[in-house]
Amino acid sequence: MKILIVGSGGREYSIGLALHKEEKIKKLYFAPGNGATDNLGENVAIKDFEELATFAKTQEIDLTIVGPEVPLVDGIVDVFKKHGLTIFGPSKAAARLEGSKIFMKNFLARHGIPTAKYIQTKNLEEANTFIDSLSLPIVVKADGLCAGKGVIIAKTYEEAKSAAQEMLSGESFGDAGTSIVVEEFLDGYELSVFAICDGKDYKVLPAAQDHKRLLDNDEGPNTGGMGAYAPTPLIDEELYNKVAQRVVKPTLAGMEAEGNPFEGVLFIGLMIVKGEPIVLEYNVRFGDPECEILMPLIESSVSDLFYKAATKDLSNLDIKIKDKFAVGIVMASENYPYSNSKPSEILISEALEDEIKEHTHISFAGVSKEEEKLFATGGRVLLCIGVGDSIKQARDRAYKRCGDVHFAGKKFRSDIAYQALK
């Protein structure tokens, strides 16, 4: 089997790493990939969807897997399907679950799926009237994709109104913000649930918890995620059942009924309020770094999972999840998340005990390769992942691996998984 993976981050590397271990995978391609993915396969520098589809046809690629949201929202799946290619991911219309907060909120309302009380508007006066009707804090969201920055949690009415004004005028997020959602604040704990979907059927992966803030104790600015672990003890059988009945099933049925069956990864961001799951957001792809810790927990074939999802055949698949825990620690570059950092060489001594080597690995993200040397090129550089029989064991192993990785300016949180270990 030949597989093409679209994207260049740790998420795509980790999918590649899982596939690379399978005997039936003959060749992997990454578009565009990073400095480390070419150890797993071949990097392809094609951006245009039509050209990439032509490449996939010429190379007789059996399956394409799309990592990031931007190509999905821009319609890569529609282009590949038009060419008769097999691709895992949602269509452009289905990707609106992530691409438009207004589409998402209205979809939830149409199908009676629990979510925070809200209005959508393009009008400042309407926004302000609704803001005045809510209690503090108040959440103001830009409609479109803002690379995770389009959500303001305002502590005062003035702050909420000026956030709305700056978004609506285009000042904050350009066109992505000229429609907004204003909603009530939900007080609870957050949980991410990932369902692999084929339009009708789905398989749920272990629930994960991300760490969005840059610094220990959840302080500092928001990032793409500084570490994650799974499965989390924050969910039990009863809550899984509620999520399935009240969220996953009505979402798939609703998308199908509206003519946009959802295929791909449905990543549901939930707030659990008094034991009840309430949808904060959907993403239409794997989380990053969540993907990196979920891949090593899948016992059965990852290529079967994606291929059967892409060919509407999930009902015929049993997936096996390991009875283990995984913890991933992001190592980021010096100036992350503010600005780029100077490239610096990554040195990995491999001077670890065999036990650590066996139960840990690295997933590479912001790296380039020059003359067989790896360089950190900024942003989130790599993730050290530990697997173990407990969260603590997995975490301790992951941190030992971090101690073996060196590059100038490296930084990482020292408290990943703390909520599970309290």
Interface residues toward ligand GLY, by CB under 6 A:
210, 224-225, 283, 287-288, 290
Cβ neighbors of 339 (< 8 A, separation 6 or more) are none
Tokens of 16: 């590649």
Whether the Cβ atoms of residue 420 and residue 232 lie closer than 8 Å to each other: yes
CB nearer to ligand AMP: pick between 156 and 241: 156
Measured distance CA(127)–CA(143) in Å, rounded = 14
Cα-Cα end-to-end distance for the chain: 44
Q: By CB under 6 A, name the one of 139, 145, 164, 214 that touches ligand AMP.
A: 139
Site for ligand AMP in 101-120 (CB under 6 A): 116
Contact of residue 283 among ligand AMP, ligand GLY, none (CB under 5-8 Å per partner type): ligand GLY
**Of the listed pieces 182-190, 242-250, 288-296, 368-376, which binds ligand AMP according to CB under 6 A?**
182-190
Task: Give min distance, CB of 150 to ligand AMP, in A.
Answer: 7
| Residue 263 binding: pick among ligand AMP, ligand GLY, none (C-beta 5-8 Å cut-off by kind) | none
Interaction mask 141-160, ligand AMP, x per CB under 6 A: x---------x-x-------
Tell me how many residues contact ligand AMP (CB under 6 A).
Answer: 13
253 binds ligand AMP (CB under 6 A): no
Cα–Cα separations (whole angstroms), residue 60 to 1, 41, 64, 84, 90: 9, 15, 11, 12, 22
Among 62, 69, 183, 288, binds ligand AMP (CB under 6 A): 183
Helix 302-310 to helix 10-20 angle (10° resolution) is: 110
* CB of 342 vs ligand AMP, minimal distance in Å: 31
Nearer to ligand GLY, 235 or 294 (CB): 294
Between CA 232 and CA 207 the distance in angstroms is: 6
Q: Which is nearer to ligand AMP, 218 or 396 (CB)?
A: 218
Residue nearest to ligand AMP (CB): 281
Backbone conformation region of residue 372, classed left if phi is above 0, alpha if psi is from -120 to 50, else beta: left
Partner whose footprint covers residue 190, from ligand GLY, ligand AMP, none (CB < 5 to 8 Å by kind): ligand AMP
- Choose the contact partner of 288 out of ligand AMP, ligand GLY, none; CB within 5 to 8 A by kind: ligand GLY
Q: Is 229 helix (H, G, I), strand (E, B) or coil?
A: strand
Residue type, 285: R
- Assign residue 274 a region: left if phi > 0, alpha if psi is -120 to 50, beta otherwise? left
Specify the DSSP class assigned to residue 414. Answer: S
The full length of the chain comes to: 422
* Contact partners, residue 213, CB within 8 Å, separation at least 6: 219, 220, 221, 222, 223, 226
Nearer to ligand GLY, 112 or 148 (CB): 148
The span from the CA of 170 to the CA of 273, in Å, is 33
Give the binding range for ligand AMP (CB under 6 A) out of 20-28, 156-164, 185-193, 237-245: 185-193
Q: Least distance from C-beta 325 to ligand AMP, angstroms?
A: 23
> What is the maximal distance between C-alpha atoms in the chain?
64
Encoded tokens for 333: 């570059």
Instruction: Please report how close the Cβ of residue 192 comes to ligand GLY at its closest, in angstroms.
Output: 7
Work out what residue 210 binds among ligand GLY, ligand AMP, none; the CB cut-off runs from 5 to 8 Å by kind: ligand GLY
294 binds ligand AMP (CB under 6 A): no
190 binds ligand AMP (CB under 6 A): yes
- Residue 287, contacted partner among ligand GLY, ligand AMP, none, CB below 5-8 A by kind: ligand GLY
Q: How far apart are CA 87 and CA 154, in angstroms?
A: 40
Comparing CA positions, the residue from 58, 57, 22, 53 lying closest to residue 40 is: 22
Q: Which residues bind ligand AMP (CB under 6 A)?
A: 116, 139, 141, 151, 153, 183, 185-186, 190, 269, 271, 280-281
